[in-house]
Structure 1
Amino acid sequence: MDARTTEHEASIAKVRNSFADAIGHARYSSEPTVLTSRGKRVAAIVPMEFYERALEALGIEVTPSQESTAADS
């Protein structure tokens, strides 16, 4: 199976000013945004479904940190 998707690439500085757009690409268009710093690809904002499937495929079980659970309360 040959799965393809559109990938956006933006500097961290640009995404900082339009974070909602990057989240929207992932959430509604299922398109990742690759973050760059000084031209180097350093991180990605991906759709939650992709993240969950990747963890499952890699056999990784995630435990939320105390920091993240306290912030959501």
Structure 2
Amino acid sequence: MDDIQILKELLFKNLQTNIEQQKELFKKLSDKMEVLITSDDYRKENLKSTKKVERELRLRARKTDKIAKKRALETK
């Protein structure tokens, strides 16, 4: 084989190796992105449910205050 052919083969093998490495890195990156997206979705859902609970607690507190005021007026 001549030198040019050997260089072409080496270059081709090097390119194949680089492509495989980039595929692996992309897979790792996409897996990490999926985890981040999933955890962000979970955080958003958790925030929504927390807000719902806080709203429910405020409504209950108002209702309790109204009942307490009503009883206070009745006992006077």
TM-score bucket (shorter structure): under 0.3
**Greater C-alpha Rg:** 2
Comparing both structures, which one devotes a greater share of its residues to helix? 2
TM-score of the superposition, structure 2-length normalised? 0.21
Comparing both structures, which one devotes a greater share of its residues to strand? 1
Q: Comparing both chains, which one has the higher relative contact order based on Cα–Cα distances under 8 Å and sequence gaps of 6 or more? A: 1
